[in-house]
Amino acid sequence: GTIEQINVTPVKKYQFITAKMVPFLIIGLVDLSIGLIIGRLAFGIPFEGSIALLFLCSAIFMTALLGLALLISTFSGTQQQYMFSAFLFIIVFVLMSGVFTPADSMPVWAQKINLINPAAYIMRINRMVMLKGSTFHDLGRDIISLTMVAIVFTTLAVNRYRKTA
């Protein structure tokens, strides 16, 4: 199919990974826009901070998730293996993100695992930007950490990807 045709072309691994990520990143940002509009108009959710900052952080978050997804796919032999593995990560990341229970009340080992959890960073960032009007300066540590997670996941995905013909 299409993947076999791409694999025999002289496309570099990072170009292939980027091409796989960009459309989903755009779709994610469109979904974010729709969600923010509905949240504001239908539910009256306040927005105190910078929309540009929120979109920047969300793009970094989506890049981290897409990098993780592609990394998981490099370990999976079939689509079914990938789906079950990705589902496991999604459940763990959402439950540990702080959306249901504060991350500070988790055991120390869980807080350490949360250091590689992109959802934990974006939850804090969303709350701080939307509800408190926090600035880039206020969120610098979380933004840098989220960016590092995105870089690590994406770099590992590029390095693990094998072109097969």
The counts of H helices and E strands in the chain are 7, 0
Please report the pLDDT score of residue 15 as a whole number: 84
User: Which among 82, 88, 140, 92 has a CA at the least distance from the CA of 116?
Assistant: 92
C-beta of residue 97 within 8 angstroms of C-beta of residue 121:
no
Q: Which residues contact 63 (CB under 8 A, 6 or more apart)?
A: 21, 25, 150, 154
Q: What pTM does this model have?
A: 0.89
Residue 25, pLDDT score: 96
pLDDT, one tens digit per residue, over 117-157 is 999 999 999 999 999 999 999 999 999 999 999 999 999 99
What type of residue sits at position 96? Answer: M
Output the tens digit of pLDDT for each of the chain's 165 residues: 566 676 777 878 788 888 888 999 999 999 999 999 999 999 999 899 999 999 999 999 999 999 999 999 889 888 899 999 999 999 999 999 988 989 889 999 999 999 999 999 999 999 999 999 999 999 999 999 999 999 999 999 989 887 664
The domain locations on the chain are: 2-160
Q: How confident is the model at residue 101, as a pLDDT? A: 87
